[in-house]
Amino acid sequence: MEQSLTEPDLLDDPIELFRRWFADARDAQMPQPDAMTLATVAADGRPSARIVLLKGVDGRGFQFFTNYESRKAGELAADPRAALAFVWIPMFRQVRVTGDVVRLDATESDAYFATRPRGSQIGAWASQQSRELADRAELEARVGELEERFAGGDVPRPRHWGGYLLEPREIEFWQGRPNRLHDRFAYTRAADADSWRRARLQP
């Protein structure tokens, strides 16, 4: 069935509209609806992109978690500007987000880390993300050491791992239509940061 995106479908708050679209994707049992491309920029200006998982969205923006010593973290430390892209292909929907990234506070990172499966908690300690590894055995040995270290107790969050928040400046909603005549609406945050301007874009 053909879908469209028109003015009556929109909301004043694009984050709330995103939450509705995300719920639609989840209810439609899209595969991995929380997967998003995170694009950053290296010190030499080269773009870098990878898939990460959305772990929360609220009025502040979009949350994800990673190793603070990873390549992406280093790029964000040097230049906090970043972009996200979500795509739900069977629904012919895409959302693009740009903004600045800040670290979540330790309390929020601790709270999320405590919800992770124990194996993932150990993995956060074991992986020196993005660094060279001699072989798989080296990583597995490190996991074994950590399992012994934390045996019988909770696994605390390592200080080198935690959350980020992308504070959006622009959010674009894309609804696919026949003949490449898609519906696109872009929201741009106003100078006062309390409201959004929106416009229909050419497909």
Residue numbering of the annotated binding site for FMN: 50-55, 65-66, 71-72, 94, 129-130, 174, 184
Q: State the binding site for substrate.
A: 55, 112, 116, 120, 180-182
Cα–Cα distance, 60 to 50 (Å, whole number): 22
**What residue type is 17 in one-letter code?**
L
Catalytic site includes residue 180: yes
Strand partners, 52: 36
Q: Which of 180, 189, 197, 200 is catalytic?
A: 180
Structural tokens at position 194: 């309390």
Cα–Cα distance, 91 to 40 (Å, whole number): 27
Its sign, for the CA torsion 60, 66, 68, 73, is: negative
Question: Burial level of 142, CB count in 10 A (0-12/13-18/19+)?
Answer: middle
Within 8 A by CB and 6+ apart from 41, the residues are 47, 48, 75, 79, 81, 82
In angstroms and rounded to an integer, the radius of gyration of the C-alpha atoms of the chain is: 19
Q: State the binding site.
A: 50-55, 65-66, 71-72, 94, 112, 116, 120, 129-130, 174, 180-182, 184
Kindly list the catalytic residues.
180
